[in-house]
A = this chain, B = another copy of it.
Amino acid sequence: MTDTMLSSETKEVVIGFERPFVVIGERINPTGRKVLAAEMAEGDYSRVEQDAIAQVAAGAQMLDVNAGIPLADEPAILAEAIILVQRITDVPLSIDSSIVAALESGLAVYKGKALVNSVTGEEERLEAVLPLVKKHGAAVVAISNDETGISEDPDERFAVAKKIVERAEDYGISRSDVIVDPLVMPVGAINQAGRQVMHILRRLHGELKVNTTCGASNFSFGLPNRNGINSAFLNMAIGAGLTSAITSPLHDEVMQAVLGADVMMGHDPDCRAWIKKYRTPMPEGMDGARGRRQSRRRRA
């Protein structure tokens, strides 16, 4: 039973083995979104604002914030975006950058306990990112690749994850504050990608006993009906131990898969969340079977 607590100024979210699955909204990310990138580079955060509000409304318990725009001042833009998103929502954030200075400026303005996204198993990254995570009392996403790249062998990826967890402990970061990303490959390219990810997730859950996250939609890259594939991926990955994902809550099918997974895992007591979401609303003035019977009698 591993719990990772993240927080904003006013709200805590716990990612854990015996908790409902946590969706970290992926939308605030200019990669591949030219309009958003151009707007953010010019200091226009209106779309960031819309994306933040829409994702929380759709059920994201956390939001990922990325400002990776080529040639732009990423540390400044990321800090501004974080300040804005923290002003208009109350969910904890994942501060997402491959630039250490950007992680640093994001952490400097962040209120609460953030998720730093990410550190890899590369020596240079470990030495730069882990002290920052420790200094700010944050949690961190550990991506299971190193100097040799991404191994196709899930057991090698597991070994990299283990190294990062142990190194974090050397820096005084508890293993419950390291969330491992096992790296999801597109199944259109690697037919065994699903099996690989379930294998490593079972080991991360059972042996290393860490929480996990991933960029879930990468699995369906290049295939038709991506939400259908993403649903199957999320369900089976959650069954194998996945406890959170960076994905889009704006697709109904994805959120349905997550809520259904909570039911399957016994993490939705009395199926209350499921029933609340999918119960057919009664016509006004009626209340279940009794109401329907009375109305029939009245018509007769």
Contact = CB atoms under 8 A, between A and B. Distances in A.
Interface stretch (A48-56, A133-141, A155-163, A235-243): A235-243
A182 to B, nearest CB: 14
Given A239-B198, A257-B232, A260-B232, A223 B265 contact: no
Interface stretch (A3-11, A66-74, A99-107, A186-194): A186-194
Contact of A271 (B188, B238, B263): B188
Interface residues of A, number: 40
Interface stretch (A26-34, A89-97, A167-175, A274-282): A274-282
A269 B228 CA distance: 17
A193 B265 CA distance: 9
B194 A264 contact: yes
Interface in A78-120: none
Interface of A: 187-188, 191-195, 198, 223-225, 228-229, 231-233, 235-236, 238-240, 256-257, 259-261, 263-266, 268-271, 274-275, 277-280
Given A191-B268, A194-B263, A229-B260, 12 more contacts: A191-B271, A193-B266, A195-B264, A198-B264, A224-B274, A224-B278, A228-B259, A228-B278, A229-B263, A233-B260, A235-B257, A236-B264
